């Protein structure tokens, strides 16, 4: 009878230990899962920030190219206008020279 009681008590303690160990493992697994979830969220946030930074950089480069193109276009227009003015003045000078020559030769 005493042996049965001791065996029952030992079994009860063993069962308690097993339950305690199972709870501890479950808590540990839960904590590890939360840690992995947090790490995944942090990686996702980092990737989003990196993508946003790259997009901003690309937008800035596009704006820079657009501005450079506008400046080049303006420069070309100014050069064309200057050349046009130069040709106009040259034509006027030729016309005056021709008129002077005509007057001098008596034509």
pLDDT the model gives residue 34: 98
Structure tokens that stand for 71 in this block: 């400046």
- What are the per-10-residue average pLDDT scores of the chain (107 residues)? 65 90 97 98 98 98 98 98 96 83 64
- Total residue length of the chain: 107
pLDDT the model gives residue 74: 98
pLDDT the model gives residue 99: 78
pLDDT the model gives residue 3: 59
Question: CA distances (Å), 28 to each of 31, 59, 66, 97, in order?
Answer: 5, 46, 57, 102
pLDDT the model gives residue 95: 86
pTM beyond cutoff 0.85: no
Element (H, E) at 25: helix 2-105
pLDDT the model gives residue 44: 98
pLDDT the model gives residue 107: 52
Largest CA distance in the chain: 156
């Amino acid at each position: 009878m005493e042996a049965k009681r001791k065996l029952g008590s030992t079994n009860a303690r063993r069962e308690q230990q097993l339950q305690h160990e199972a709870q501890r493992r479950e808590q540990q697994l839960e904590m590890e899962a939360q840690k992995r979830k947090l790490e995944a969220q942090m990686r996702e946030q980092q990737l989003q920030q990196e993508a946003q930074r790259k997009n901003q950089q690309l937008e800035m480069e596009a704006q820079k190219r657009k501005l450079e193109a506008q400046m080049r276009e303006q420069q070309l227009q100014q050069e064309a206008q200057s050349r046009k003015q130069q040709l106009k003045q040259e034509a006027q000078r030729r016309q005056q020279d021709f008129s002077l020559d005509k007057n001098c030769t008596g034509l």
